[in-house]
Structure 1
Amino acid sequence: MTSDPASSEPHRILSIQSSVAYGHVGNSAATFPLMRRGIEVWPVYTVHFSNNTGYESWRGPMLTASDVLEVVRGIDDRGVLGSCDAVLSGYQGGEDVGAAILEAVRLVKDRNPAAIYCCDPVLGDVDRGIYVRPSIPEFMSSTVVPAADVITPNQFELGLLTGLPTGSLNEVLTAAEAARDLGPGAVLVTSVTTPDDLDSVSMVLVDHSGGWRVTTPLIPQTFTGAGDLTAAVFLGGLLQHGRDAAAEALAETAAVAYGVLSLTRARGARELQLVAAQDEIASPSRSFPVVRIR
């Protein structure tokens, strides 16, 4: 059931991710959309760069694992972690930061056992290949993913996590089930394309209720930060509708993502146009059917 923001306290997410001053990736892609959809966000930064690293240069500091934990412990000092409903994480530059995030998750769940952990296991994509340290995929699959309640890999990352092929829809489903066997209850696979349908892109969700797919027209552009946006909106939907209504959260996520990306494309922009697309974030103009596939 959807919560009514006007009559109840908003859900709260502790989001531990990168941040950029210019553009929208990591927390810079997650915070505004979540707040626009009525969810309180406590952003904790792992880096604070001038811009995303897809540009030819960037500047700014990388925070240490102890820095990350100090901020989380400072929040705990306020006595509010018990009201935190979820932890969201994205890019993890090293095992030390990953361990700090897991410690933050442990602390939040100690304060609120009902809290959930959503991990976007950022490893790479089909266009760029792996763009994290060589040790990170194994660390993700062996240590981080088993601690997560929800993961949101793209099609390429799902294959890295499971070691299984993901070229067809059936292979994606099989690999997603294998990912669930690692620990998380729900696996949302993003950016799914298949050779028999090159004009569309899908999201595939596998959880305890079965398998679900939502398909949108393919927008011919690479969007940095789209995965961060998607993970955030999906987690927000799970909190607002309940974990047993994941298909409903999936439908909303697809609609929001398509609205933001299509407007960004129409403006000829490189960075996500979150402010211009804020009405699409709050109330998308298009919807797409969610189909049971298993």
Structure 2
Amino acid sequence: MEVLTLKNTTDILNENLEPIALAIGYFDGVHIGHQKVILTAKEIAKQNGWKSAVMTFDPSPKAVLGKNPEEVKYITLLEDKTKLIAALGIDYLFVVPFTKEFAGLMPQSFINDYIIQLNVRHLVAGFDFSYGKFGSGNMETIKEHSKGKFAITTIEKITVENEKISSTTIKSLIETGLVQEVPKYLGRNYSINGTVIHGEKRGRQIGFPTANLASNNKYVYPANGIYVVKMYVAGRWVNGVCSIGYNPTFNEEKNKRFVETHLIDFDQNIYGEHVVLEWHSRLRDEEKFANIDALIAQIAKDKQNAIEYFQLKD
């Protein structure tokens, strides 16, 4: 998949692209609904002998236009999103930097400059897609703005158990710790990328060494607690138990949040390694223990629960 960053119309004019079927949207998470949009464009491209493409925006419009941009969190950062879209077998990914200037484009100007000039012959988007200044363009007005240059397919609302599949719903599930509910909306377990860093080595001292994860604070993080997880490290997936929170048994002040994973049947030096942490199921809330022995006993139970969880999955 070729990735093109489109900062202005000139970027598009210089490409001289073949006819395209384009899926357009923000696509945070590339969830089941997003996949429907993208794969519909891919199928249309295949039927017509065109190239398939996805157009997305970065950063989130809320991070540019919202009142609290620093609070905007993501299911997938751009790097994650790119890999997921590439895995769907798309030819081009167009990344449009979302700026206040770009947000000020009138709907017709956006269609002229970013769709028609891109040689789009068929555009696919979700029913709630909007574009142009104040989001005043939508899937009804696009029929007029297209000037007959391209066809349009609207993907209607997709639901699971009468709940609309949306990035907002998925974020809420993650933030409340219901990670086991995420796959039916996302199409996979939620995961974040990061690097293993040195911690305070307390886990190793009590017989349960942990990999401490440093990761981008723009990710949506699960609620504090203990989780069954998998980690992709050293070229393979390893089962584990993850604690996310403030380590209340050792830390009185809630000034730093830790993401620490005890990997089961794994003993390698992985400091500095780039890893993927995949969240499977919540075991319990974070808890402050009266003493180290009580903590060790509970961690042993958590580890056994994780082992049994994966045995049932196999």
Whether TM-score is above 0.5 comes out as no
- Greater helix content: 1
**TM-score of the two chains, using structure 2 as the length reference:** 0.29
State the TM-score, normalizing by the size of structure 1. Answer: 0.30
